[in-house]
Structure 1
């Protein structure tokens, strides 16, 4: 018994232990999403003011990056340098809010345009599970969904 325990400890100490299978490591978690934007300040202001995302310290300190918190352990990195281009609504970031009508009123106060999937202004789209959604675009035309999912 001592021989097996000693062999196991030696294997771990030397790095010769068999790695855990991927399923034993847990799920892969979202760390951040990066958006390459045309106007850093305009985009950062939009996400901070319209979506109410708090700014985080970023390590580059080069005036080309803004980092924002989008979840307990997830971030949105906004990076300066893109050229204007079109974006399809099927590719979007989705956010949840506890009170969608209140959030819509917030957007109305800021004069931020939003609507349902079909583009009908001020309207929501119901998902088959009852969750209500709205869609809007950031200053670069990236699509965003905001919903009232309670997951």
Structure 2
């Protein structure tokens, strides 16, 4: 009663209090606000010869070149998934490349992809870098590893 009388003298009506309480209750029922999750946007690779890289990515992986926002001759942008891009930048690149640092693309059939690699004389290997071997993972996925003209490792799998 004491609270009601004090609120009345402050000219706050009971319906306004109840409305405020309802808003507070609704806010408490909402999930806690968390930090925004980062969303993958693009990957960038260095190339000593952009023309060679363009030939590789368009003819071996069939990537589509998209608009270059920099409008220069040292970047090529590719669409690699809906709203995800990769760009290759011509520069003086590091020569150290290890298979654990790789990007991955999926194809419908690894054996058919391997046939195309053989036709183009492109070397491939499994995870242990045994040349000419397809890796068959315990989860049923088949994969091979190839290198682009600058030595970057690329996994190609069937993502079953």
TM-score, reference length from structure 1: 0.80
Select which of 95, 100, 103 maps to 1:93. Answer: 103
Select which of 52, 57, 72 maps to 1:62. Answer: 72
The count of residues paired between Structure 1 and Structure 2 equals: 135
In structure 2, runs of 5+ residues without a counterpart are 1-14, 24-31
Partner of 1:140: 150
Rate the CA distance shift 1:20–1:37 in 2: closer, same or farther, 3 A. same
Q: Deviations along 1:19-40, whole A, 9 cap, x unmatched?
A: 9422xx5x43211000011111
Moved segments of 4+, more than 6 Å: 1-5
SS in 2 for 1:102: helix
Looking at CA atoms only, which structure, 1 or 2, has the larger radius of gyration?
2
Alpha carbon RMSD of aligned pairs, Å?
A: 2.1
Aligned-residue offset at 1:111: 1.3
Rate the CA distance shift 1:56–1:2 in 2: closer, same or farther, 3 A. farther
TM-score, reference length from structure 2: 0.76
Aligned-residue offset at 1:118: 2.2
Partner of 2:63: 53
In structure 1, runs of 5+ residues without a counterpart are 9-18
Output the CA distance in 1 between the equivalents of 2:92 and 2:86. Answer: 16
Partner of 1:16: none
Rate the CA distance shift 1:62–1:128 in 2: closer, same or farther, 3 A. same
Output the CA distance in 1 between the equivalents of 2:39 and 2:132. Answer: 33
Output the CA distance in 1 between the equivalents of 2:74 and 2:102. Answer: 23
2:138 matches 1:128 = yes
